Structures are given as C-alpha cells and as structure tokens.
Amino acid sequence: MSSTSASLPVDEAKLNAFMEKALDDMGAAAHAVLILLGDRLGIYKAMADSRPVTPAQLAERTGLNERYLREWLNANAAGGYVTYDPRTKAFTLPPEQAFALAIEESPAFIPGAFQLLGALYHDLPKVESAFQTGKGVGWHEHHHDLFRGTERFFRPNYNANLVPNWIPALDGVEAKLRRGAKVADVGCGLGSSTILMAKEYPKSTFFGFDYHGASIQMARESAQTAGIADRIQFEVAPAKSFPGSDYDFIAVFDCLHDMGDPAGAAAHVRQALQPDGTWMIVEPYAEDTPEANHTPLGRLCYSASTLVCVPASLAQDVGAALGAQAGEAKLRETVQAGGFTRFRRAAQTPFNLVFEAKP
C-alpha cells in the first residue's frame, strides 16, 4: 500500500460493506465455473423435472461421482440455484431455475453466457497486452468457447423477440418477407438469427455474411441440420464489402459496435439496399451517458466490451471502438454518417435496442 493511500481516511463501515460486495463477487466468479460444469455434464438437465434428488440419486441418474456432486449441489444451494431440504437431504432445481438453466430453447436460457465468460479468462493475457500496446484483439483470436457461447447466449433472445416483436415493429418489412424478399444478415456469426428468419419466411432468400471463417462453417452445418440450406447462402465477407445488391432487408445483430469502421459499414449497407429497403440494427440496451449505464446490465456490458468489443474494433481499420454501451445518439450519428436519412427506435427489450434505418 502506498503512503498516500495509507494516509487516506477510511470509513470502516463503508470498507466492510465493500468487502461484503467483493466477497459476493468472488463467490459468483467461482460459482460461474460450476455453472459451466453443470451445463457441460448435463447436471441441470438431469434435475429439470424439479423433483427432489439426493446426491446419490443424482449420481445414479447422471453416471457422475457422488462426492463431487454433493459439493457441487451445496455450492448451488448456497447461491440460490437449487434448494435444499435438510430433513430429506435432497436438492431441487425449482421450475424457474430449470427454465433458465436446463431448457435450451427457453427465452431465459443462460448457460451460454457462462460459456462466453469462461472464454474471456482464457484470453486475459491477450487483452492485458492490448492494454499496454493499444493494439486490438480480433474476434477470431479469441478462445473457441466465445463463438459457441455467444451463439447460445443470444439465440434464446432472438427466438423470443425477432419474429414476434422486432420485425413486426419495422415499417412494411414483415409483409415483404412473407411475399418473398432478398435478405442479408451481416455479422451473422454462427447463423442463428439467419436460420430463424429463413424458417419463418420460406418465400424469402437469405444471405449470411461474417468475416470469421470458422463461424461461417458452423453456420452452414446448422443450416443443413435445420433442413433449410437451400434458402440460405453463408459466405465469408466483411461488413464493408459483403457481396450483392438490391437487398430488401439487411440486419445486423449485436455487432455494429464491434466493427472497426461502423460508419463505413453503414455506407456499404446503404449502397447494397433497394431504394425502399430497410436496415435493422439490434444493439445492447444502453443510455446515452456513462453514468446512466452504471447498472447491473451496464456492468456486464462494459466488462464484455472491455474484453471483446473494444479490442475487436481496435484490431480493424479505423478502430472507432464504439463499445457495447454506445447508446442511441452515437448509433444515430454513425448510421447517418453512412448516408441514411431516416433513423428511429423501433423496439426495445430490457437487453436490446432495435433501430430502423432507411435511405
């Protein structure tokens, strides 16, 4: 401790309150690894019927070691992820927790987020170096769990909102898609958003673009599995130069802020659209001032942005580094710099802002 900090007056009550908060964060960080284990080993799924189960019964059900399970269950009980009955010594995964932890297609499914977060620890040395040099860390340079975890984390939200809420909130887009439209999903990642739209709008043709080759390969495999590969073409291409023109509808999901030159990407989208086309931009929920984002969601987004989003942008040309909490005003400015004249907030959720841009 420096002499300066040692001489600062310390309020003991405030210090103790902060230490309690830090202890809670330590417990959450350690328990995140157990959530990953529960997901990978299928433990939550084995408890998804929400019936009480002892460690021995769970071991028999899963084929896992009873002693490890007992410790894992107690940690989950201490964190409120499962409940414990001291009379029967049985543990229960309540229906609400099962909805979030065990049901992949649930709109509240969260294990993908912990898979994503686990990747960030792998990549800490790269980001540490970036802090010192000011250079970027490309999306492709991250641990592979980031790609799959991101897809698993975002897919439930898209399942819950994209077709029922977001597209209907756009002016005339749903009718075009029903009739048959040409659609581009730029920065499509593993293609979950593209595949979801292609399933819902069979008369339309879809193109998914991402600069990351490994993600595009996984997207192609997912389209084959879904039986709609004939209506989706996935290609490796950056946002500023993806091929094609005369698109009726272009979408970017949670990635405009990751781009090195988002205004340049906006200009290319503008050029690729039909004169009456629509660009949908989905971004993390954020207010326009930093202090308004000093919330639990803002904490998560700023942290992820520090480790992934800003480094990804700084690894590219221009390096605008909007960050995951850019806010509507900055996004409007960026989109208008690309040549769009109309921009409005079309929809929102507690986690996303959805914008409509027109030439």
Residues 218 and 350 grouped into a single domain: yes
Residues 169 and 91 grouped into a single domain: no
Which of these three, 98, 127, 162, is where a domain ends? 98
Angle between helices 213-226 and 144-161 (to 10 degrees): 50
Residue 186 token pair:
């730029």
CATH number of the structural domain spanning residue 87: 1.10.10.10
Residues 76 and 209 grouped into a single domain: no
* pLDDT computed for residue 47 by the predictor: 98
Mean pLDDT of the region 68-82? 98
Residues 69 and 200 grouped into a single domain: no
Q: Give the chain's domain count.
A: 2
Residues 91 and 27 grouped into a single domain: yes
In a domain, 119, yes or no: no
In a domain, 249, yes or no: yes
CATH number of the structural domain spanning residue 294: 3.40.50.150
pLDDT in tens, 166-187: 999 999 999 999 999 999 999 9
* pLDDT computed for residue 8 by the predictor: 83
Strands 273-284 and 352-358: antiparallel
In a domain, 124, yes or no: no
**250-281 residues labelled b (16+ CB within 10 A) or e (exposed):** bbbbbbbbbbbbbbbbbbbbbebbbeebbbbb
Residue 3 has pLDDT above 80, yes or no: no
Report the first-to-last Cα separation within the chain, whole angstroms: 57
Which of these three, 98, 119, 137, is where a domain ends? 98
Q: Residue 178 in contact with residue 217, Cβ under 8 Å?
A: no
* 195/201 Cα distance (integer angstroms): 10
In a domain, 182, yes or no: yes
Which of these three, 74, 98, 122, is where a domain ends? 98
In a domain, 86, yes or no: yes
Output the average pLDDT for the chain: 96
Residue 217 has pLDDT above 60, yes or no: yes
pLDDT in tens, 298-321: 999 999 999 999 999 999 999 999
pLDDT in tens, 255-267: 999 999 999 999 9
Residues 161 and 307 grouped into a single domain: yes
Residues 332 and 192 grouped into a single domain: yes
* pLDDT computed for residue 1 by the predictor: 45
Which band of pLDDT confidence, cut at 50, 70 and 90, is reported for residue 5? low
In a domain, 112, yes or no: no
Residues 75 and 160 grouped into a single domain: no
**194-232 residues labelled b (16+ CB within 10 A) or e (exposed):** bbbbbeebeebbbbbbbbbeebbebbbebbeebebbebb
Residue 4 has pLDDT above 60, yes or no: no
Which band of pLDDT confidence, cut at 50, 70 and 90, is reported for residue 6? low
Residues 87 and 160 grouped into a single domain: no
What is the spatial order of strands in the sheet that 352-358 belongs to? 232-236, 205-210, 182-186, 247-253, 273-284, 352-358, 342-348
Residue 2 has pLDDT above 80, yes or no: no
Residues 192 and 51 grouped into a single domain: no
pLDDT in tens, 89-141: 999 999 999 999 999 989 999 999 999 999 999 999 999 999 999 999 999 99
In a domain, 145, yes or no: no
Residue 147 token pair:
């790609």
Strand partners, 206: 183, 232
Residues 191 and 89 grouped into a single domain: no
In a domain, 305, yes or no: yes
Residue 328 token pair:
């509507």
Residue-number span of the structural domain to which 55 is assigned: 10-98
Mean pLDDT of the region 23-32? 96
Q: How many residues does the chain have?
A: 359
Residues 83 and 212 grouped into a single domain: no
pLDDT in tens, 34-50: 999 999 999 999 999 99
What percent of the chain has a predicted confidence (pLDDT) above 90?
97
